[in-house]
Chain A
């Protein structure tokens, strides 16, 4: 396609889209107004029914926990797909091409500050991940923060420790355990004849860390799964660069 034709096509469809966009904006509800009854109901009864002060997580891990189970397995299978496509098989012929040499080394200050930064990130990750039932956050966010602590290790040129931790087979097991125990928590009420993913644990005192029954437990399982998933994807991408081995063609 020639450049002028391309521009004409863009201008035509761009203006059509712009008009439709303007038409859509005119009919938007005003700033801050909310017209659905469902949200009002659930924010009124959520805290009393589930003893979780963060109603968003009460919805994610209890009222709509089945949806979250699906999302959990989307992440699980996505990580599985990346690993199947990119990771080296055992016994595959590889050849050494040498590691990448950094031209610019990090200063001592950055290296000295790396460890406190990593520790702070780990503490913050646990804080966000384990208080999902009380404050905004939860297992998913906490898991990503925990995984990012290890990427900080990689950025600070401590490649060997990064490889030792993330290539460990325990990471794969943690991912599987995290995803599987969510399903198991969901299945366990079936023994007592209750529906799938019923909140069967004692709800505890509202505002306590050990409250809200299965919400906190499921959130922790999701945290495990997400942490391991991100570490696995990160190692899969960096495997060749870290080890200096590429498969023989």
Chain B
């Protein structure tokens, strides 16, 4: 069990680095969700299934969803602004 936990912790470190290094927003959100699932697995291996469930719902579902919603809203706003400028010209 100790090796499974150690391997998972290593994977978490790698995927955390991957989240930081990804530049494209959409793939970064996907990487963030993957990182959340890995964290949930770590909690499960460390015998905390309750925390693992919370981590799945928050880290792998709610957080990427909120980031995605906020970014799509910003993109829509800037597209709307561009559209009105084109109309005025």
Contacts and interface: CB of A to CB of B under 8 A. Distances in A.
A114 to B, nearest CB: 17
B61 interface: yes
Given A56-B50, A136-B49, A141-B54, A233 B66 contact: yes
Given A97-B80, A137-B53, A140-B54, A241 B62 contact: no
A57 B50 contact: yes
Interface string A151-186: 100000000000000000000000000000000000
B70 A144 contact: no
Given A148-B61, A234-B69, A241-B73, A246 B80 contact: yes
B20 interface: no
A145 interface: yes
B50 A246 contact: no
Given A240-B77, A246-B80, A234 B53 contact: no
Categorize the interface residue count of chain B: 20 to 34
A144 B50 contact: no
Given A240-B76, A241-B73, A97 B65 contact: no
Interface string B61-89: 11001100110110011011001100000
B53 A238 contact: no
B26 to A, nearest CB: 14
Contacts of B83: 97-98
Contacts of A144: 57-58, 61-62
B16 interface: no
A10 interface: no
Main secondary structure of the interface of B (DSSP, over half): helix
B57 A141 contact: yes
Interface residues of A, number: 27
Contacts of A137: 50, 53
B21 interface: no
A237 interface: yes
Nearest to B87: A97
A128 B53 contact: yes
A241 B50 CA distance: 36
A33 to B, nearest CB: 12
Nearest to A95: B84
Given A97-B80, A98-B83, A144-B58, A151 B65 contact: yes
Given A140-B57, A237-B72, 4 more contacts: A97-B84, A136-B52, A141-B57, A238-B73
27 contacts: A86-B73, A97-B80, A97-B83, A98-B83, A100-B79, A128-B53, A136-B49, A136-B52, A136-B53, A137-B50, A137-B53, A138-B50, A140-B54, A141-B53, A141-B54, A141-B57, A144-B62, A145-B57, A234-B69, A237-B66, A237-B69, A237-B70, A237-B72, A238-B72, A240-B77, A240-B80, A241-B73
